[in-house]
Amino acid sequence: MDIISVPGSQIIQVARAAAARRGVAFLCFGESDVSSPASAQAALKRALDEGDTKYPDVRGIPELREAIASYLTALHAREVPEDRVQVVASGMAAISVALAFTVRAGDRVLVHGPVWPNILNAARLRQAQVTQVALRTDGSGKFMLDMDELSSALPGHRVFILNSPNNPTGWTATREELQEILALCRRHDVWLISDEVYSRLVYSGAHAAPSLLDIISGDDRVVVCNSFSKTWAMTGWRVGWLVLPRGLRDPVANVVEVIHSGVAPFSQRGALAAIADHSFVRGFQRHCAAGRSLTADALSGLERIGYAVPDGSFFAFIRVDGMKNSLEFALTLVEKHGIAVAPGSAFGSTGEGYIRICFGLERARLSHALSRLRTALERVR
């Protein structure tokens, strides 16, 4: 076929196999079962009742742009002015738009792996040459980014895509690491696209993960991507945002106009209500922290299983010693144990040998699923 194609999602492959069977417990998606904030739902309904269904400002409705700017300014060390904020249709749209205005066919894009597969595929759709630098594990099994490897890999690349807190590993860069990453990108004149959609899902007691918004200037070649999907459990609403270098918002709005012509105004009204709902965020952080603890307890003491409790995100990335084909293993878990997990190979070759589960689920449901998973892992030979 004379089309540009990308590999299909192995996570979807597992999910479809699970959907064809009765009673399978789903841990494979990056999605909580918590309902979106009631304040957001009410605001969306009100917007629909008032007929707010016409084309919006492609930059995002002014009230939401201002609210995002205020939210980020309060959360981080440096001011984020409204004229650097662009509203887009989801976190994935944010990454796609960022790649659209930074990358041309043949450019080299560097990504650390394991990483969410849509990031790799979005770069490939731009006809970029995609290369990866692997996240390594330390003696405790925690993931880390080797700065010497990154420094060696960066020259000749147009863009480096950073994802912290990371999907799937939960690796979360420290402020010092972010400063070093930024310095390397400045030195090699490389654009830095930072996917920070899990920024509020951290377990150190901090309000948010360290962010490039704490340290960059308005003139840095840095684009920060975020979304309402994770922090506010609004995966289906399709609302995200970009923080852009100074002076680029209106040119980038022209790119958004071509790609998706703005975000549904009623979804933006819901997002506006959500970003003001601080109690929801605190409650969701506690919810995910409880799931993290349940998961650690369920996986403790298992032979041939390696697991380091993540610093961020709502994922457990679990090493299964001796496993050579994580997709086959995941499909077997569906068929024989009624549990759906994401195969590590879905996140690139560096994820092989692992499976990923989401622990941002309601306690009883998660406990039931983890019981099945532990039983299955106890039988690994």
Q: For 78-136, how does the pLDDT look when each residue is reduced to its tens digit (9 = 90+)?
A: 999 999 999 999 999 999 999 999 999 999 999 999 999 999 999 999 999 999 999 99
- Residue 276 scores a pLDDT above 90: yes
For the chain, what are the domain ranges?
A: 10-36+279-378, 53-276
- Residue 1 scores a pLDDT above 60: no
Residue 210: cis peptide before it, omega within 30 degrees of 0: no
Q: Do domains 10-36+279-378 and 53-276 have the same CATH topology?
A: no
In the chain, the percentage of residues whose pLDDT exceeds 90 is 96
Residue whose pair of structure tokens reads 């989801």 in the numeric block = 90
pLDDT of residue 239: 98
Please say whether the structural domain 53-276 has been given the CATH code 3.40.640.10: yes
Quick one: average pLDDT of 59-75? 98
Rounded to 5°, angle at Cα 71 from 65 and 74: 140
In the chain the first and final C-alpha atoms are separated, in Å, by 42
pLDDT of residue 142: 94
What average pLDDT does the chain have?
96
pLDDT of residue 3: 76
- Residue 29 scores a pLDDT above 80: yes
pLDDT of residue 178: 98
In the chain, the percentage of residues whose pLDDT exceeds 70 is 99
CA atoms within 13 A on the CB side of 80: 29
- CATH architecture assigned to 10-36+279-378: Alpha-Beta Complex (3.90)
Quick one: average pLDDT of 325-343? 97
Taking alpha carbons only, the member of 216, 218, 231, 114 closest to residue 163 is: 114
